[in-house]
Every structure is written in structure tokens, then in C-alpha cells.
Amino acid sequence: MHELLTLYKLIILYMLNGVDFPLTRIQINDFLLGREYTTNFLNVQQAIGEMIEDGLVVSQSVRNRSHLSITEEGRRTLDFFKGDINHDIRTDIDRFLREKGFELRNENSVLADYSKASSGEYEAHLIAKEKNITLVDLKISVPLEETAASICDHWMEKNQEIYQYLIEQLF
């Protein structure tokens, strides 16, 4: 079991190193489970948790989704152990990232979350990024949690239209 957990960690590090944006736990799970590198969701979660504890990966939680990025320590570890990943697995990951990279990036380039502010209001935090460049970073305060949640949902659906509107109005 220890060898499998180590392999999962190396696969995850290789995936995170192959992109210039964070991947979510769901995206990583979908790859590992979809390709049948594992059939146990909990093993992947254990591997991710241990890598976060060891400082190989950092996690940022945004609206119930964990966005994972590789650290410098993770890159050094991957460089040292990259040869332990089977060539066919590396090829499979490379192909997956090439074919799905645009979709993966889009899923992570638009973010929306809300939280309760010290004033008692709710604050919706809306972000749109492109290639690690923040295009929009907007906070909106509203009195109700339901309104903040609705704003976040609408941002996820209509962010391009809203961004276009802002550009047209401001330039």
C-alpha cells in the first residue's frame, strides 16, 4: 500500500508540475479514477493530505473546492523521483494535460466565493483570471447570505458577459 500511495503522490506532483495553474482535487481524482490508476477515492485524498502536510503541495479553498498547486519543495521532490513514474503513465498524463488543459484552466480561472464580514454583511468575492493574470477581482457586500450565494452562482455563469460590459463601460 505504501508503494501505491507514493506512486499516487508522484502522479499528482507530475500533474501539478505540468500546468501553470492550480488543479482541483476533483480534477485530480477524475484523472486517477477515470484512468483506473486507483479505484479508491480515499487513497487519493490521503496522498494529497500528506503532501500538503509535507509542504509539497499547497491548497487554497474556494467555495468548497480545493485548488492545489505544487511548491518548490514539491518540484525538487519530483525532479528527484520522476524516474520512478512509469514512462507510460507520464505519457498518459502529458496527453491528458494537452487534450484537457484548456478545460481544466477554464474550470479554475473563474472563481466565486462568499463569506460573512465582521460588519454582519456577506461579501461575495469574484475573480476571473487568464494565464495567472487577474482580469477581475471584485468584492460585493450584500445583507443576505442567499444573495451572496446567488451572486457567486451568476458570476460562474455570466462572468464573460460581465467582464465585457465592464470593459465597454470603463474604456
- Grid coordinates standing for 109? 480561472
The pLDDT tens digits for 21-31 are 889 998 999 99
- Please state the pTM of the whole predicted model: 0.72
Considering only 87-101, 125-139, 152-166, which range has the smallest mean pLDDT? 125-139
The pLDDT tens digits for 14-59 are 999 999 888 999 899 999 999 988 878 888 999 999 999 999 999 9
Q: What is the pLDDT of residue 16?
A: 96
Backbone angles phi, psi at 147, to 5 degrees: -65, -45
The pLDDT tens digits for 64-107 are 678 899 999 999 999 999 999 999 999 999 999 999 887 887 77
Closest CA to 109 of 62, 146, 145: 62
* % helix, strand, coil for the chain, step of 5: 60, 25, 20
158 sits in which H/E element: helix 145-170
CA distance 142 to 117: 10
Q: For domain 2-108, is the CATH number 1.10.10.10?
A: yes
At residue 134 the predicted structure's pLDDT band, cuts being 50, 70 and 90, is confident
Domain ranges of the chain: 2-108, 110-170
128-164 burial: b if 16+ Cβ within 10 Å, else e: bbeeeeeeeeeebebeeeebbbebbeebeeebeebbe
CA angle 33, 35, 38 (to 5 degrees): 45
